[in-house]
């Protein structure tokens, strides 16, 4: 939680390079609207969690990498959305993560629209969430000041704030992407969104 957390919010923790987070991002706002809760979008670097868990990314894990690619393509067909991330997938999405928090200082809704646009562009294979110029292009298309974004991405203050947000999440037990927290209850994985919705409606069980 931080100063941006609205009361009753669903915290939505994700890494832009996480394909399961892309699918989660497609549905989280609609879910929240159904249960009358705000969403706090919270990108972070999954590598920060991997340092604590000793885990590694799906894409670099034998057997799991083949399954994950097949599963992502299957989910994309199910949801009728593109799935063709850049060839370097998964990217190290530090630029996009920092840009999100820069935009959030201006306007939380702008940051949320940036996140959705970044996901859409990355998973269409257009813009790389790890490339500052690409990230600035997305920001500019939403009306943000491109030069200010690029300057901010190199500013020590934004770097530190981004790192602190991620480390704070991991210190609270957040270790995956997507990972949700609502009413103090953690839910890991896009597959748990239905359970989380049920949990909110019933007030837990």
Minimal distance, residue 180 CB to its own copies, in Å: 12
Q: Which stretch binds its own copies (CB under 8 A): 1-9, 21-29, 61-69, 155-163?
A: 61-69
Tell whether residue 78 is a contact of its own copies (CB under 8 A): yes
Rounded Cα–Cα distance for residues 128 and 186 (Å): 29
- Residue closer to its own copies (CB basis): 44 or 100: 44
Distance (Å, rounded) from C-alpha 16 to C-alpha 178?
A: 10
Minimum CB separation of residue 52 from its own copies in Å reads: 6
Whether omega for the bond prior to residue 90 falls within 30 degrees of 0, making it cis, is: yes
CB under 8 A: which stretch of 16-24, 74-82, 128-136, 141-149 binds its own copies?
A: 74-82
CA distance 191 to 171: 23
Q: Does 56 engage in binding with its own copies (CB under 8 A)?
A: yes
Q: Which residue in this structure is represented by tokens 């670099």?
A: 60
Decide: helix, strand or coil at residue 52. helix
Q: Residue 73 interacts with its own copies (CB under 8 A)?
A: no
| Cα(128)–Cα(123) distance, integer angstroms | 9
Select from 26-34, 65-73, 90-98, 158-166 the region that touches its own copies (CB under 8 A): 65-73
**Minimum CB–partner distance for residue 186 and its own copies (Å):** 6
The DSSP output letter for 5 is -
How many C-beta neighbours within 10 Å does residue 35 have?
Answer: 15
Question: Does residue 62 touch its own copies according to CB under 8 A?
Answer: yes
End-to-end CA distance of the chain: 23
Q: Select from 77, 107, 133, 147 the one that contacts its own copies (CB under 8 A).
A: 77
Q: Are 77 and 66 in contact (CB under 8 A)?
A: no
Nearest to its own copies of 101, 180 (CB atom) = 180
Q: Which of 2, 34, 70, 88 binds its own copies (CB under 8 A)?
A: 70
Structure tokens at 135: 């990230």
Site for its own copies in 170-199 (CB under 8 A): 170, 173-175, 186, 188-189, 191-192, 195
**Strands 185-188 and 39-43, how do they pair?**
unpaired
Binding site for its own copies (CB under 8 A): 49, 52-56, 61-64, 66-67, 70-71, 74, 77-78, 170, 173-175, 186, 188-189, 191-192, 195, 205
């Amino acid at each position: 939680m931080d100063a941006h957390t609205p009361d009753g919010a669903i915290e939505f923790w994700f890494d832009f390079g996480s394909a399961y987070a892309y699918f989660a991002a497609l549905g989280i706002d609609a879910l929240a609207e159904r249960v009358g809760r705000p969403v706090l979008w919270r990108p972070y670097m999954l590598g920060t969690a991997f340092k604590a868990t000793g885990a590694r990314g799906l894409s670099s894990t034998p057997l799991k990498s083949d399954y994950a690619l097949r599963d992502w393509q299957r989910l994309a067909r199910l949801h009728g959305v593109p799935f063709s991330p850049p060839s370097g997938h998964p990217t190290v999405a530090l630029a996009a993560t920092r840009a999100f928090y820069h935009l959030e200082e201006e306007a939380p809704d702008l940051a949320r629209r940036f996140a959705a646009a970044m996901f859409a562009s990355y998973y269409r294979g257009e813009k790389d969430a790890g490339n500052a110029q690409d990230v600035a292009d997305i920001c500019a298309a939403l009306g943000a000041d491109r030069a200010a974004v690029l300057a901010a991405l190199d500013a020590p203050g934004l770097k530190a704030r981004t790192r602190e947000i991620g480390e704070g999440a991991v210190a609270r037990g957040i270790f995956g992407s997507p990972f949700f927290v609502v009413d103090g209850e953690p839910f890991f994985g896009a597959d748990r969104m239905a359970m989380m919705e049920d949990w909110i409606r019933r007030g837990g069980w």
